[in-house]
Amino acid sequence: MLAWEVLFWFCVALLVYAQIGYPLVLAALARVRRGHSVAAVPEELPAVSLIVAAYDEEAVIARKVANALALGYPRDRLEVVVASDGSSDATVTHARDAGADVVLDLPRGGKIRAQDAAVAASRGEIVAFSNANSTWEPDALALLVGAFADPAVGYACGQVTFVSASRGGTNQEGLYWRYEMALRSLESRLGSITAGNGAIYATRRDSYIVVDPIMGHDLSFPFNMVKRGWRAVYVPQARATEKMVPSLEGEFARKRRMMSHTWPIVLRGGLLSPRGYPPLYALMIASHRVLRYGAPFLHLGALVASFVLGASSTFYAVALALQLAIVVAASLARVLPLRPLLVARYYVLTTASVAAGLWDWLRHGTPAGWEPAEGTR
């Protein structure tokens, strides 16, 4: 029985550390260490190419181009580039009519290859990226670019807020994302972030990395920047909004697809190799990435151990009951959409999506192409 007890406490300790202990460690370090600050908007703004990779985005691409052109950035230093990844609708026509400076009508090759082509066709010193359904605040680009006044910065991402696409939506992504942004703010202050987002980010042209087409920029860029001697920072003042998937089931499907792109980065893309990581950043990767992706397996270990031990111990029987209660609460949320039950369902489904994404990748690989998430346009 000792081995089962060790397994139980090992899994529980890592889960508690990943969700609660790690933020407390970052907060404590931020109090005692002198942190990095993000530079203000420079007086001399560099030339920027704002790139939007799009696949069948005729419903939103004109609005996105208009949003880009309305940013408070000198027009002679802003180039708006739309890269259509084999769109079968009127995305290309709408982008041109809306006033995009460069519109690429590319064969279907996936989002990453569309972004690569757009970078090659652009001229800006800074290359910024956004999703077709993201809306930037007027000063977002200038604030994002301000990070590059620090010559050590190679990557910067802004703050994205997920808004409900409709009344009565059940998705709890907004709650999680506020927690996630707080962690990234602390990571950025102490060194570099461990992941970005696709809604609002930028790199120097010199620091841009061509990665495997199934490996998205959100995860592969920050740690690779650090390995190359750059900093990857978070600029919370640079804000964007996106519609979230309305339902928890839709969020599960979205995260499952994301994780099928994430696992190749984790297992063969270099994230696990500590080579090139400063010690603190290695701790961040282990705490925020490795343990986060290991959560479903840690939960499974704790559940099995408490099931075995529960037959002879009241403590472990209670522990088993509490774990099962979370699953029951998640199930009840389908018929009784109360906030605590919805939060439980969000946690269970998003944790399960990590394992489901691994299963998908191992079973049939990951396609380079992508589809817009349901309900986000």
pLDDT 10s digits, 358-376:
999 999 988 877 677 665 5
Give residue 335's pLDDT band: very low, low, confident or very high (50, 70, 90): confident
Query: What's the whole-number mean pLDDT along residues 302-314?
Result: 94
Query: Is 60 exceeded by the pLDDT of residue 3?
Result: yes
The token pair that represents 319 in the structure block: 């522990």
Provide CB contacts within 8 A for 312, sequence distance 6+: 1
At 173, the pLDDT band (50, 70, 90 cuts) reads low
Q: Please determine, for residue 251, whether its predicted confidence score (pLDDT) is greater than 90.
A: no
What is the per-residue pLDDT for 219?
95
> H-helix or E-strand containing 226?
helix 217-227
Structural contact between residues 230 and 154, judged by C-beta atoms closer than 8 angstroms: yes
* Average pLDDT score over residue span 9-14: 98
pLDDT at res. 374? 63
The backbone region for 86, taken as left when phi is positive above 0, alpha when psi lies in -120 to 50, beta otherwise, is left
Paired tokens of 312:
């002879």
Quick one: pLDDT at residue 80? 98
H or E element, residue 264: helix 248-268
For the chain, helix, strand, coil in percent to 5 are 55, 15, 35
Distance CA 267, CA 236 (A): 30
Helices and strands: H and E segment counts in the chain: 14, 8
Task: Please name each of the domains of the chain with its CATH number.
Answer: 48-247 (3.90.550.10)
Give the pLDDT band (50/70/90) at residue 44.
Answer: confident
User: Residue 293 in 3-state DSSP?
Assistant: helix
Q: Dihedrals φ, ψ of 357, to 5°?
A: -65, -40
How sure is the predictor about 353, in pLDDT bands with cuts at 50, 70 and 90? Answer: very high
pLDDT value, residue 311: 87
Mean pLDDT, the chain, rounded, equals 92
The pLDDT of residue 38: 67
Residue range 126-151, pLDDT digits in tens:
999 999 999 999 999 999 999 999 99
In the structure, what pLDDT confidence band is assigned to residue 228 with cuts at 50, 70 and 90? very high
Q: Alpha carbon of 63 to those of 10, 152, 161, 241: distances in Å?
A: 50, 34, 18, 13
Residues 6+ apart with CB under 8 A from 367: 110, 214
Sheet strand arrangement including 102-106: 102-106, 78-85, 48-54, 126-130, 201-204, 153-163, 231-243, 135-136
Strands 126-130 and 201-204: antiparallel
